[in-house]
Amino acid sequence: MINVLVTGGNGQLATCIKDVEVEYDNLNVLYADSKDLDICNLNQVQSFFKSHDIDYCVNCAAYTAVDKAEDEQELAFKVNAEGAKNLALTCEEHHVVLIHISTDFVFDGSKREPYTEEDQPNPISVYGASKLQGEIEIQNILSEYFIIRTSWLYSEHGNNFMKTMLRLAETRDEISVVADQKGTPTYAGDLAKVILEIIGKASKDFGLYHYSNQGKISWYDFSKAIFEESKINMQVNPITSEQFPVKAKRPGYSVLNKEKIRSKLNIEIPDWDLSLEKVLSKK
């Protein structure tokens, strides 16, 4: 059996891993939330690893409140950078492979073609900067790691854009959604499968990878697709980022190039609309 620790064990991605792990007979997966394991506390992390036999650590623990991070910079960096460093140090000591989830928000959005792993990060928010620092800490400490940058995660679990749209539809018949930020929605269940495939195959192709679903749309396009697929009659009005002011800047373009993960790890990548259709059919 392969023993896998998943941090952030009650979060959206971890819950999707729970859904998918039943397909893998050779995996024994342990889920730890912040009450079980505070990744910001190095002593606690080291003690946890000493008392459990772990082959892989999947780090789904993260500070993800993008706008609040502008006011809670210290906390964002503590979780996203120091927490990642603590896991990397402990994984190195115990010969554990770390799989760490990062974000498209490490980029500034100035590019107009999909970002590759070789493109220079330039975060424009505290959240993006804290996630980039986490990547750097891991790369400085470990040689056996997978860092997977993803984008616009949603699922039937947790809090996400899709569920917000469906909730708004219960009380409104018209909304306005930003149309000038382009990216790719990613079903967390698809990412969960990628993570477990890497573990199940015991891949040695370590490094930094990009993964999202296929395609390029705006938040406006995504909201319209959610309502249309759900057969909800909703008037959606396109607006600019300037018309919807928020504390943290978002990249205007954050489409990820997935060629590396497709070719090196032989990963199949569904189109975003097919995955959305699959998720909404479960509701």
Please report whether residue 113 resides in a domain.
yes
How many distinct structural domains can be found in the chain?
1
User: 9: domain range?
Assistant: 2-159+185-216+254-271
Please report whether residue 79 resides in a domain.
yes
pLDDT tens for each residue of 14-54:
999 999 999 999 999 999 999 999 999 999 999 999 999 99
Q: Where do we find the tokens 């946890």?
A: 48
pLDDT of residue 62 exceeding 90, the answer is yes
Residues near 229 by beta carbon (within 8 Å), at least 6 away in sequence: 276, 277, 280
Please report whether residue 276 resides in a domain.
no
Cα–Cα dist 85/179, whole Å: 36
Please report whether residue 53 resides in a domain.
yes
- Active-site hit among 127, 145, 187, 253: 127
Parallel/antiparallel/unpaired status of strands 182-183 and 217-218:
antiparallel
pLDDT tens for each residue of 105-144:
999 999 999 999 999 999 999 999 999 999 999 999 999 9
Please report whether residue 177 resides in a domain.
no
pLDDT tens for each residue of 227-256:
999 999 999 999 999 999 999 999 999 999
The amino acid occupying position 107 is: F
pLDDT tens for each residue of 163-176:
999 999 999 999 99
Please report whether residue 175 resides in a domain.
no
Alpha carbon 83 to chain centroid distance? 16
pLDDT of residue 277 exceeding 90, the answer is yes
Average pLDDT over residues 76-84: 98
Q: Counting every residue, how long is the chain?
A: 283
pLDDT of residue 283 exceeding 70, the answer is no
Residue 36 tokens read as 């079980």
**Residue 154 among the catalytic residues:** no
- pLDDT band for position 282 (cuts 50, 70, 90): confident
Which DSSP letter does residue 10 get? T
Instruction: Establish how many alpha carbons lie within 13 A of residue 9's alpha carbon, considering only the half-sphere containing its beta carbon.
Output: 16
Cα–Cα dist 188/15, whole Å: 9
Average pLDDT, the chain: 97
Q: Where do we find the tokens 């996630």?
A: 131
Please report whether residue 6 resides in a domain.
yes
- Which CATH number characterizes residue 77's domain? 3.40.50.720
Please report whether residue 198 resides in a domain.
yes
Cα–Cα dist 207/146, whole Å: 5
